[in-house]
Amino acid sequence: MPEPIRMLVENRGEVLIVEGIFRDLVSRGDITVDMAWVSSSVISLAELSLLRKPLQPVVVALNCPEQQSEQLRNSVERILSNVSPGGPWHVAIAVPDMRTWIEAELNFTATLARSGLPGRPSKIDLAVFFKDWASQNHFGRDQAATNNSEFAALARFIAHQLALSAGVA
C-alpha cells in the first residue's frame, strides 16, 4: 500500500482546517496531518520525513503575510530541494492564513455569515466552527481552487500524488 500524503502545519487550528477540507481523504487514510507549532519546525519535520521516507509525498502548509510569501516559498523550496531534488513535496503558502482557503468555498462562507459568530472570529474559533461544519457538509475543493490559486496548486499536487499511488498517472 502506498504511503499517505503527509501534510505538515503549524498549529491545532490548521490541523482542524486541513482535516475538514480533506475530510474524505483523511478518513480513507490518503492524507495524514501533523503539526509542529512553528514554521521552522514544520520545515524541519518535512526534511526529516523526506529523508526517512523519500517516496512519501509531503506538503508543507504555512501561513504568511503577502509581502513575505514568495521569500518564504523560495526558502522552503530551496531547503526541500537540497534534501529531495524533484521529490514528492509541495509548499503551500496561505496568505495571510488558511482562512482564505476555507472562505473561498461559498457554501461555507454563507453559513459563516449566518452563524452568529462575531464579525471576524479568532483563528481558533473559525477553525473549530469549520471543522464542525465540514463534519456535516462537503467542502467544495473545486470551488475553493477556482477562487484561490494557491489552494488550486495544492489540490493539483494532491490529485497528482493520489493518481500516482493508484497507478493512474
Please state the length of the chain: 169
Q: Which residues face 89 on adjacent strands?
A: 58
Following DSSP, what letter does each residue of 65-110 receive, concatenated? -HHHHHHHHHHHHHHHHHHSTT-SEEEEEESS-THHHHTTSHHHHH
CA distances from 97 to 53, 77, 85, 166 (A): 28, 19, 27, 31
C-alpha cell at 24: 474524505
Would you say 12 and 123 are in contact if contact means Cβ atoms under 8 Å apart?
no
Whole-number pLDDT of residue 1: 64
Per-residue pLDDT 10s for the chain (169 aa) are 689 999 999 999 999 999 999 999 999 999 999 999 899 999 999 999 999 999 999 999 999 999 999 999 999 999 999 999 999 999 999 999 999 999 999 999 999 999 887 778 888 999 999 999 999 999 999 999 999 999 999 999 999 999 999 887 6
Whole-number pLDDT of residue 84: 96
Give which of 40, 51, 113 is closest to 84, Cα–Cα.
51
C-alpha cell at 84: 529531495
> How many beta carbons lie within 10 A of that of residue 102, not counting itself?
26
Instruction: Give the burial class of 154: count Cβ atoms within 10 A of its Cβ; 0-12 exposed, 13-18 middle, 19 or more buried.
Output: buried
Backbone phi and psi for residue 54, each to the nearest 5 degrees, phi listed first: -65, -15
- The structure's pTM equals 0.94
Give the span between the Cα atoms of 133 and 37, in whole angstroms: 24
